[in-house]
Amino acid sequence: MKALKYTILISMLSFTLLASCAQMSPSIVAQTEIARDDHDALRTYYETLANEAESILQKNKKIIEECEAHPYQYGAQGQDLRSHSSANIRKYEKILKESLYYADVHRKRSIEQDQPINQTEVDLELEFMGTESAHPGKEL
């Protein structure tokens, strides 16, 4: 009898523990994602990323100019600061280049997605596959 009580108690505790650790609202994660075929949103994302990279790039270029214009103010840390800023410039130039490329790709795909489908190509594909035309009144 005691064993049955302990078994029930342990199973209830384990169920309570598992239920309390479970994720309650997985929809929060789904709301922040961008759909793969939403090219306008992806274009905006990459353009924003490029703008942020551009601003950080300009800040690092100003730091290098300041270090070179007034090396006596920075002392031994000036060389480290210039080296670090140069590395950041290379990194953010790469990010800027990639972001602009992807923004352009998604801009083109968005334009293509908005254009109507060429029906003759669809009819030719259907004919090649051996099915009927999408337009029942037309003959191929």
pLDDT at position 2: 77
Q: Are 99 and 47 contacting, i.e. CB atoms less than 8 angstroms apart?
A: yes
pLDDT at position 110: 86
How buried is residue 80: exposed, middle or buried, by Cβ count under 10 Å (0-12/13-18/19+)?
exposed
CA 99/CA 45 separation, integer angstroms: 9
pLDDT in tens, the chain (140 residues): 777 777 887 877 676 766 666 655 554 444 556 776 788 899 999 999 999 999 999 999 999 999 999 988 888 888 899 999 999 999 999 999 999 999 999 999 888 877 766 555 556 666 666 655 555 555 54
CA 108/CA 39 separation, integer angstroms: 9
CA 95/CA 101 separation, integer angstroms: 10
pLDDT at position 29: 44
pLDDT at position 121: 58
pLDDT at position 56: 96
At 23, phi and psi to the nearest 5? Answer: -75, 130
Q: Are 132 and 126 contacting, i.e. CB atoms less than 8 angstroms apart?
A: yes
CA 50/CA 110 separation, integer angstroms: 19
CA 119/CA 66 separation, integer angstroms: 61
pLDDT at position 76: 85
